[in-house]
């Protein structure tokens, strides 16, 4: 067992180097030998099984039964056509689902957790899939453990292992050896860290001893198999709609059959017609269409630096009306630069730092030593604030590696968001320095002396007010302010709890993180589209307000509140003020959750950004949790719905825009399909009630269903982005798919398509009273072609097709042309014409059916024109 061996034995056994790690060549050899560091995926289903799933439907079984009956009654052509159409529908569904699955698999790969390892003498971030046995892995708070590790170095390391051991409290970890015993449970192996658990506190270093299925979590994974498919709320709604529609259609089919019996029609013909209508009217293609449109949307969003982890997020994005954004790295560049300092009683520009002044020198050295970041010309790893401090040191020839050699770190208290402090214990000759850095207000409380004019003096209230004034001065200029203090002790025998006390205040540094390019423009775009931007930051109120004002988020200081002040507000006060607040400063993780809940309570749909371990609760609480892809911890990413690969606020706005367009496109496809289905039901049912011969043959219905349920609907689903989408207000999440104009539009067009199909049949039957086939063919062409032309007018609810451009959606134009060609093939090719019992239309017939077919398109375009004129008035 790995935990029984000493760290030296482990290092020797895996032939690794603690200082330099593995070489790239050795890592590649080991990856080929042991395979990728990931759990085995479930076996892919065979094509035949997937094909069977496509036809595993009661209505399809009834249709196949009808084909068998047709064959027995020697109606071979009907039987063959039914079977061909069923197979074609299944293949189209299979292709769509396959594309969606591939898109989602690509998405999973993109969201693979990262791991920090030593390779070629450098610390680098790699995909956890590429970790190999023998790798030296660096652990930090907020990171998932990429594989099973034998720890060789720890500093106050705690790991949350509930996913593996069931323990609710994080386990304290040590690098020390454990005495051999037969009864040591996983939870008691204190020198081990296991795959898929998470670091909650401190840091550590470990040697990878097991990867992939050889890990403890891998052993559990062998016993599990996940077959569940997740459906989005929209897909669930559509499934319910399909069931309801199916119930209605079956009743209509039953009524048709009863009427046929009363009218003494051909019962077999009516049986086939009823079944065909049921299959045609129920939009089985909807779930597959929604899946493929969502999957294509996910891929488009990946190209725009937004990874959607959960498909329902796409639907919710269109309703977002508040974006709560972290300041650092999202609204700003995350490239902190120290510009001012305060030391020895003087506030000045950083260029006036004098390394010959021992207070100035101590300020820079302490800031460099009390840091977990690493810095070199080739790489920078760690918090941007700490990297800025290391860059400050480099500017004055003070390098962290050199300082660490001279003043090695013996102990530390890691930074946490409640204390807002970090403390290290460093060796200085035969003594030790406690060095603390962090937020000024917290630091002042634990200091009893200060440097003034080169001398150490008591930290009086007057001197404290001077430090506070210097800090406020920098904060007013939108600078982030950090202070440092120290105390000399004789040995390392010091209680952790007493380290941060009786310190000597050294000085302050002020740094700025400039706004990102295009962020101001994105915030203005949000404002115009009814989306409020709210800044949530750990900075002081003055700093936060300065940046918010520059970006156009806030106009007045009354729109800024601290987390502490917000928590003191009563419920009624929050309700009164929340709509006016734009900046929440000095917030803790608990404040963030309360802010999100307060905004949601007002009926808002809230998006929330975060990157740290403690941001996970607020990301979960928000309607859309957005994690940072670059600076974000694995925990934050795991709790999020969306990950920004560039940590940029503008990407959130692009994602909202994309989400709105995707939802609109899905709605267009659904309205189109249901309108067509209503048209088919009306044409057949009214025709039978009026006592007419069958308006359409069963195979006509199935052919129309094949044409309109596949390519045109999908083409509408990938409609190009509407450039004016952000001029609209956010969609009300409580409203249904068919609220407002959509419901009227759907039913109105369904009736219109049904009526012109009936008109084509009636006029055809009147002109050619001795040729039922002639009239049925005219009805068949009008039903098919009118639906194809109708797709052009459904592309935008208000804009004319001539405004958006006929050829801007080339897929739709192709689908329309292909649909018309397929209808023509059925009529013009003698073999197909005999199978479909279609009549070869004359030139006058074609002119007539074309004029009828274009009516829905013309009326819809006229309706848009009238609507726009009325709206202007």
The bridge status of strand 122-127 relative to strand 409-416 is: unpaired
427, β-bridge pairs: 432
Closest by Cα among 548, 543, 535 to 512: 543
Q: Write out the E strands in 161-215.
A: 171-172, 192-193, 198-210
- Stronger pLDDT, 548 or 103, i.e. the higher one: 548
Lowest-confidence pick of 281-295, 312-326, 588-602, 844-858: 281-295
Amino acid 733: pLDDT: 72
Q: Is the pLDDT of residue 700 over 70?
A: yes
Amino acid 703: pLDDT: 82
pLDDT band at 689; cut points 50, 70, 90: confident
> Token pair of 45, please?
């289903």
Closest by Cα among 851, 706, 697 to 774: 697
Amino acid 43: pLDDT: 59
Place of tokens 């200060």: 450
| Cβ-contact 519, 558 below 8 angstroms | no
Average pLDDT over residues 184-190: 81
> Token pair of 471, please?
């800090």
Q: Is the pLDDT of residue 667 over 80?
A: yes
451, β-bridge pairs: 456
Q: Write out the E strands in 164-278.
A: 171-172, 192-193, 198-210
- Stronger pLDDT, 430 or 265, i.e. the higher one: 430
DSSP-derived secondary structure letter, 308:
E
Average pLDDT over residues 596-614: 87
| Cβ-contact 523, 533 below 8 angstroms | yes
Sign of CA dihedral 602, 605, 611, 614: positive
Instruction: Compute the distance between CA of residue 629 and CA of residue 618 in angstroms, rounded to an integer.
Output: 17
Please tell me which of 133-142, 261-270, 276-285 the model is most confident about, judged by mean pLDDT: 133-142
Q: pLDDT tens digit string along 409-438? A: 999 998 877 788 999 999 999 999 999 999
> Token pair of 118, please?
């030593």
Instruction: Compute the distance between CA of residue 861 and CA of residue 97 in angstroms, rounded to an integer.
Output: 34
- Stronger pLDDT, 656 or 182, i.e. the higher one: 656
Amino acid 104: pLDDT: 46
| pLDDT > 70 fraction of the chain, expressed in percent and rounded | 86
| Cβ-contact 827, 777 below 8 angstroms | yes
Average pLDDT over residues 617-627: 89
Coil vs helix vs strand at 146: coil
Lowest-confidence pick of 99-103, 218-222, 388-392, 784-788: 99-103
Q: H/E element holding 716?
A: helix 711-717
Q: pLDDT tens digit string along 743-795? A: 888 999 999 999 999 999 999 999 998 889 999 999 999 999 999 999 999 99
Average pLDDT over residues 233-237: 65
Coil vs helix vs strand at 333: coil
- Stronger pLDDT, 610 or 134, i.e. the higher one: 134
Amino acid 100: pLDDT: 47
Q: pLDDT tens digit string along 129-163? A: 899 999 999 998 878 899 999 999 998 888 888 66
pLDDT band at 538; cut points 50, 70, 90: confident
pTM of the model: 0.67
Average pLDDT over residues 302-312: 83
Q: H/E element holding 434?
A: strand 431-438
> Token pair of 520, please?
């101001």
The angle formed by the CA atoms of residues 195, 199 and 201, to the nearest 5 degrees, is 160
| Cβ-contact 82, 63 below 8 angstroms | yes
Amino acid 282: pLDDT: 63
Instruction: Compute the distance between CA of residue 331 and CA of residue 515 in angstroms, rounded to an integer.
Output: 6
Coil vs helix vs strand at 416: strand
Coil vs helix vs strand at 517: coil
Q: pLDDT tens digit string along 473-518? A: 998 887 889 999 999 999 988 888 889 999 999 999 999 877 888 8
Instruction: Compute the distance between CA of residue 115 and CA of residue 126 in angstroms, rounded to an integer.
Output: 5
> Token pair of 470, please?
């210097």
Place of tokens 């804009």: 799
Closest by Cα among 677, 627, 634, 670 to 652: 627
Instruction: Compute the distance between CA of residue 476 and CA of residue 670 in angstroms, rounded to an integer.
Output: 54
Q: Is the pLDDT of residue 830 over 90?
A: yes
Q: Is the pLDDT of residue 562 over 80?
A: yes
126, β-bridge pairs: 115
* Domains of the chain, CATH where assigned: 2-39+114-221 (2.70.150.10), 231-301+656-872 (1.20.1110.10), 316-333+516-647 (3.40.50.1000), 337-512 (3.40.1110.10)
Instruction: Compute the distance between CA of residue 165 and CA of residue 158 in angstroms, rounded to an integer.
Output: 14
Instruction: Compute the distance between CA of residue 372 and CA of residue 387 in angstroms, rounded to an integer.
Output: 9
Instruction: Compute the distance between CA of residue 342 and CA of residue 792 in angstroms, rounded to an integer.
Output: 67
- Stronger pLDDT, 826 or 3, i.e. the higher one: 826
Q: What is the phi/psi pair of residue 64, to 5°? A: -65, -35
Amino acid 299: pLDDT: 80
Lowest-confidence pick of 221-225, 261-265, 601-605, 812-816: 221-225
Instruction: Compute the distance between CA of residue 363 and CA of residue 344 in angstroms, rounded to an integer.
Output: 10
Amino acid 226: pLDDT: 42
Q: Is the pLDDT of residue 685 over 80?
A: yes
- Give the DSSP per-residue string, 85-107: HHHHHHHHHHHHHHHHHHHHHHH
Mean pLDDT taken over the chain: 85
The angle formed by the CA atoms of residues 663, 666 and 671, to the nearest 5 degrees, is 120
| Cβ-contact 337, 389 below 8 angstroms | no
Q: Is the pLDDT of residue 307 over 80?
A: yes
DSSP-derived secondary structure letter, 329:
I
Q: H/E element holding 28?
A: helix 24-34
Is 401 annotated in the active site?
no
Amino acid 467: pLDDT: 96
CB atoms within 10 A of CB 167: 13
Instruction: Compute the distance between CA of residue 141 and CA of residue 383 in angstroms, rounded to an integer.
Output: 12
Q: Which of 326, 366, 372, 709 is catalytic?
A: 326
Q: pLDDT tens digit string along 439-466? A: 999 999 999 999 988 889 999 999 999 9
SS3 content of the chain, % helix, strand, coil (to 5): 55, 15, 30
pLDDT band at 283; cut points 50, 70, 90: low
CB atoms within 10 A of CB 243: 11
First-to-last CA distance in the chain? 81
Average pLDDT over residues 106-118: 67
CB atoms within 10 A of CB 342: 24
Coil vs helix vs strand at 857: helix
Instruction: Compute the distance between CA of residue 312 and CA of residue 362 in angstroms, rounded to an integer.
Output: 53
Q: H/E element holding 779?
A: helix 772-793
Amino acid 31: pLDDT: 92
Average pLDDT over residues 13-26: 93
pLDDT band at 50; cut points 50, 70, 90: low
Amino acid 82: pLDDT: 67
2, β-bridge pairs: none
């Amino acid at each position: 067992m790995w935990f029984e061996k000493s760290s030296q034995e482990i290092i020797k056994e895996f032939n690794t180097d603690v200082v330099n790690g593995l070489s790239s060549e050795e890592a590649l050899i080991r990856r080929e030998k042991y395979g990728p560091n990931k759990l085995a995926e479930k076996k892919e289903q065979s094509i035949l099984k997937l094909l069977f799933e496509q036809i595993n439907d009661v209505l399809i079984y009834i249709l196949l039964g009808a084909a068998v009956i047709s064959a027995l009654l020697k109606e071979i052509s009907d039987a063959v056509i039914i079977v061909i159409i069923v197979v074609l529908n299944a293949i189209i569904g299979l292709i769509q689902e396959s594309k969606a699955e591939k898109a989602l698999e690509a998405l999973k790969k993109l969201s693979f957790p990262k791991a920090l390892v030593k390779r070629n003498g450098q610390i680098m971030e790699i995909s956890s899939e590429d970790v190999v046995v023998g790798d030296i892995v660096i652990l930090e708070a907020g990171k998932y453990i990429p594989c099973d590790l034998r720890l060789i170095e720890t500093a106050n390391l705690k790991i949350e292992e509930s996913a593996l051991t069931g323990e609710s409290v994080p386990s304290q970890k040590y690098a020390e050896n454990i005495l051999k015993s037969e009864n040591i449970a996983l939870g008691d192996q204190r020198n081990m860290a296991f795959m898929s658990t998470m670091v909650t506190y401190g840091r550590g270093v470990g040697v990878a001893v097991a990867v992939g299925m050889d890990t403890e979590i891998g052993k559990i994974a062998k016993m599990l198999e996940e077959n569940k498919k997740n459906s989005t709320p929209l897909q669930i709604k559509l499934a319910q709609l399909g069931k309801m529609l199916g119930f209605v259609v079956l009743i209509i089919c039953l009524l048709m059959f009863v009427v046929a019996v009363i009218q003494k029609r051909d019962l077999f013909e009516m049986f086939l017609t009823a079944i065909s209508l049921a299959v045609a009217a129920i939009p089985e293609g909807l779930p597959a269409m929604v899946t493929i449109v969502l999957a294509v949307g996910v891929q488009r969003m990946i190209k725009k630096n937004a990874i959607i982890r959960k498909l329902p997020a796409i639907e919710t994005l269109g309703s977002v009306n508040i974006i709560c954004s972290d300041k650092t790295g999202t609204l700003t560049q995350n490239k902190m630069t120290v510009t001012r300092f305060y030391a020895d009683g003087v506030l000045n520009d950083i260029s006036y730092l004098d390394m010959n002044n021992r207070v100035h020198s101590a300020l820079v050295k302490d800031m460099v030593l009390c840091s977990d970041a690493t810095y070199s010309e080739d790489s920078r790893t760690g918090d941007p604030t700490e990297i800025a401090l290391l860059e400050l040191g480099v500017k004055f020839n003070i390098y962290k590696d050199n300082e660490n050699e001279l003043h090695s770190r013996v102990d530390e208290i890691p930074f946490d968001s409640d204390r807002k402090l970090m403390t290290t214990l460093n060796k200085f000759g035969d003594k030790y320095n406690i060095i603390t850095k962090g937020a000024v207000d917290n630091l002042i409380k634990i200091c009893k002396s200060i440097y003034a004019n080169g001398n150490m003096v008591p930290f009086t209230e007057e001197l404290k007010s001077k430090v506070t004034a210097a800090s406020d001065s920098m904060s007013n200029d939108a600078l982030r302010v950090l202070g440092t203090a120290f105390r000399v002790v004789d040995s390392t025998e010091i209680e952790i709890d007493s380290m941060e006390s009786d310190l000597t205040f050294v000085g302050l540094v002020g740094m700025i993180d400039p706004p990102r390019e295009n962020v101001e423009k994105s915030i203005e775009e949000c404002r115009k589209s009814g989306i409020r931007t709210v800044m949530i930051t750990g900075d002081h109120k003055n700093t936060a307000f300065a940046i918010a004002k520059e970006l156009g988020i806030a106009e007045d200081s009354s729109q800024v509140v601290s987390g502490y002040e917000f928590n003191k507000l009563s419920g009624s006060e929050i309700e009164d003020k929340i709509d006016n607040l734009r900046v929440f400063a000095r917030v803790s993780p608990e404040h963030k959750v309360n802010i999100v809940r307060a905004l949601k309570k007002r009926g808002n749909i809230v998006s929330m950004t975060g990157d740290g371990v403690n941001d996970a609760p607020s990301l979960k609480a928000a309607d859309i949790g957005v994690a940072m892809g670059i600076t974000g911890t694995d925990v934050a990413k795991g709790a999020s719905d969306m990950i920004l690969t560039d940590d940029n606020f503008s990407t959130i706005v692009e994602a909202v825009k994309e989400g709105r367009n995707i939802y609109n496109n899905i709605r267009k496809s659904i309205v189109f399909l249901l309108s067509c289905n209503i048209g088919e039901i009306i044409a057949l049912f009214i025709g039978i009630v009026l006592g007419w011969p069958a308006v359409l043959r069963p195979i006509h219905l199935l052919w129309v269903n094949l044409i309109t349920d596949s390519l045109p609907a999908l083409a509408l689903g990938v409609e190009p982005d509407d450039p004016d989408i952000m001029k609209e207000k956010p969609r009300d999440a409580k409203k249904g798919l068919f609220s407002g104009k959509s419901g009227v539009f759907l039913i109105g067009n369904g009736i219109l398509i049904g009526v012109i199909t009936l008109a084509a049949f009636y006029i055809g039957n009147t002109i050619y009273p001795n040729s039922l086939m002639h009239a049925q063919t005219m009805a068949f062409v009008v039903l098919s072609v009118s639906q194809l032309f109708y797709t052009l007018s459904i592309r935008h609810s208000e804009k004319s097709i001539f405004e958006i451009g006929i050829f801007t959606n080339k897929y739709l134009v192709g689908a329309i042309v292909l649909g018309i060609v397929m209808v023509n093939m059925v009529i013009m090719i003698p073999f197909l014409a005999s199978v479909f019992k279609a009549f070869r239309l004359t030139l006058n017939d074609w002119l007539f059916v074309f004029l009828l077919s274009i009516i829905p398109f013309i009326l819809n375009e006229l309706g848009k024109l009238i609507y726009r004129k009325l709206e202007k008035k």
